[in-house]
Amino acid sequence: MALGTATVAYELRFDAGRICLDLLATTHPEERLDSTEVLGAWIVGSGLVPQGTDLTHADLSWLVGFRELRRCVGKLVRGAPGHGNGLALAHVNAAARAAPPAPRAVPDQEGALVRELVGPPGCAALLGAIARDAVELLTDPVARAGIRECEGDNCPIVYLDTSRGRRRRWCSSEVCGNRERVARHRRRAALSRT
């Protein structure tokens, strides 16, 4: 499955710091996983599979599976650990049991080793890789302490703050950070005119 349009690649974001958090970002500012083509672009863009991996076998059940895992990870990431999220935790744990897609190294046309998958990945294998990432994030106290929600206006994106001093405020300095700087500039300009 190839990227449908350049717009798809532009709209998908992979800057949250973890694959499971990048999956959460697919809801903002609207539902991004609205077709199997976009889901395929997200799977490739996230690095779950190498470029060129055949995903034509993905169907609507994949969309349902990815959205459900996203919902459960979101509940766990945004909530207090182990408080009222038993069903979400059970779902993530069940998904994490699936073996991730098996990679292998093969020579490319120039003789350099590149990664490819042993066979077409199944939905459960891909969900398993994301669920394992979520389990690792949620059970690592240092990483969990770095989970932040963007301070941008109306931006619910959750990211992992690995900045020096852990003072990152926005999901992306180029997106929400830039909007904040522009808004601050406009407020100062408006005050100077009065």
pTM of this structure:
0.85
Assess contact for 147 and 136: CB atoms under 8 A.
no
What pLDDT score does 2 carry? 43
Cα distance between residue 41 and residue 169, in whole Å: 28
What pLDDT score does 185 carry? 66
C-alpha torsion angle, residues 79, 81, 84, 90 (rounded to 10) = 110
Calculate helix-pair angle for 60-78, 36-45, nearest 10 degrees.
50
Q: Output the six-digit token pair for 13.
A: 């974001």
Q: Tens digit of pLDDT per residue, the chain (194 long)?
A: 444 444 454 489 898 999 999 999 999 888 999 999 999 999 999 999 999 999 999 999 999 999 999 999 999 999 866 667 899 999 999 999 999 999 999 999 999 999 999 999 999 999 999 999 999 999 999 999 999 999 888 888 899 998 888 888 878 777 776 777 776 767 777 777 77
What pLDDT score does 40 carry? 96
Q: Is the peptide bond before 29 cis (omega within 30 degrees of 0)?
A: yes
What pLDDT score does 45 carry? 95
What pLDDT score does 5 carry? 43
Give long-range contacts, CB 8 A cutoff, 24+ apart: 41-45.
41/1, 41/3, 41/4, 41/8, 41/9, 41/12, 42/12, 43/126, 44/1, 44/3, 45/9, 45/12, 45/14
Nearest C-alpha neighbor of 159 from the set 149, 174, 169: 149
Assess contact for 170 and 177: CB atoms under 8 A.
yes
